Amino acid sequence: MKPLISIIIPTLNEEKILASMLQSLRTFTAYSHEIIVSDGKSTDKTVEIAQKYADHVVEYKGNEKQTKQTIAHARNLGASIATGEYFLFLDADVFIPHNNEFFTKALARFELDKRLVALGVFLKILPEHATFADRFFFGLLNYWHYFLSNIVHDGAASGEFQMIHANAFKQVQGYNESLAVSEDYNLMERLSKIGHMRIAPELKVFHTSRRAHSLGWPKLLSLWIGNAVYARLFKRSMNAEWKVIR
């Protein structure tokens, strides 16, 4: 029996947080699902942890032309073995509260809107990590995504959480692997051209905000905005590489 939801998690040296994240997903029992970890050549215990808790683990082996994997390729690689009706892409530091209730509401969105092809949510910071700046800027980001997706109808959602109908994902040929950054925005933009891409403000997920804490908000905002503009106007990233932060 095919699962309803394929949960796809790209990883690279995530041993510090992956076990707790995957364990939290194991409380999800309301709907059939599979958990797929797509690893980008981790050098720590990430793969070992993934093999313990995930249903499937796929590992990037690299090639002569490209030894480093983009997160877009990692997500596509995970999707290549997924069999669910819906693909849910999650970052490894994302936690979904009250899984069963959450997914009931998420799936209801797709049932109510037959043209809905992709769903984003509001991003919150884990309380033990949250700063005032985190709450302020992610609050702005959430409503900006809501404005673009639900009012302007020009899809936008962060890669921390993107739930996509599998057929639509395949129709647009997944993430653009040439983009090191803003591959998430680019995909939502393309999906919004073939159906509805919406943000569900009643659905919230939590993450660590580790990139903002490492780089600082001024630098992170400049990187986000610059890469989003480049991806939209020139179909390429401003940055050739997205720094790994753990």
Residues 97-128 have pLDDT tens digits of 999 999 999 999 999 999 999 999 999 999 98
* Rounded Cα gap, residues 64 and 52, in angstroms: 31
* More confident position, 13 or 223: 13
Q: How confident is the model at residue 223 (pLDDT cuts 50, 70, 90)?
A: confident
The pLDDT score that the predictor gives to residue 221 is: 81
Q: For residue 47, give every residue at least 6 positions away whose Cβ sits within 8 Å of its Cβ, in sequence order, or none.
A: 37, 39, 57, 59
* Rounded Cα gap, residues 230 and 223, in angstroms: 10
Q: How confident is the model at residue 158 (pLDDT cuts 50, 70, 90)?
A: very high
79 SS3 class: helix
The pLDDT score that the predictor gives to residue 66 is: 57
Q: Which of 1-10, 67-76, 82-91, 176-185 has the highest mean pLDDT?
A: 82-91
Q: How confident is the model at residue 94 (pLDDT cuts 50, 70, 90)?
A: very high
Instruction: Provide the percentage of residues in the chain whose pLDDT is more than 70.
Output: 94
Q: Are 84 and 3 in contact (CB under 8 A)?
A: yes
Q: For residue 17, give every residue at least 6 positions away whose Cβ sits within 8 Å of its Cβ, in sequence order, or none.
A: 92, 93, 208
Which residue carries 């309301």 as its tokens?
A: 30
Domains of the chain: 5-234 (3.90.550.10)
- Average pLDDT of the chain is 91
Q: How confident is the model at residue 236 (pLDDT cuts 50, 70, 90)?
A: confident
The pLDDT score that the predictor gives to residue 28 is: 94
* Rounded Cα gap, residues 172 and 168, in angstroms: 6
Residues 183-205 have pLDDT tens digits of 999 999 999 999 999 999 999 99
Residues 73-93 have pLDDT tens digits of 999 999 999 999 999 999 999
Q: Are 68 and 182 in contact (CB under 8 A)?
A: no
* Rounded Cα gap, residues 29 and 87, in angstroms: 17
Average of per-residue pLDDT across 5-20: 97
Q: For residue 105, give every residue at least 6 positions away whose Cβ sits within 8 Å of its Cβ, in sequence order, or none.
A: 200, 202, 203
The pLDDT score that the predictor gives to residue 64 is: 47
* Rounded Cα gap, residues 136 and 142, in angstroms: 10
Backbone angles phi, psi at 148, to 5 degrees: -65, -45
Across the chain, the runs of DSSP E, i.e. the strands, are 5-11, 33-39, 56-59, 86-90, 116-125, 161-165, 196-207
Residues 38-61 have pLDDT tens digits of 999 999 999 999 999 999 999 998
CB atoms within 10 A of CB 211: 19
Q: How confident is the model at residue 180 (pLDDT cuts 50, 70, 90)?
A: confident
Give the tokens for residue 80: 């290549």
The pLDDT score that the predictor gives to residue 73 is: 94
The rounded Cα 183 to chain-centroid distance in angstroms is: 10
Task: State how beta strands 116-125 and 161-165 pair.
Answer: antiparallel
Residue type, 136: F
Give the tokens for residue 237: 């990233």
CB atoms within 10 A of CB 20: 12
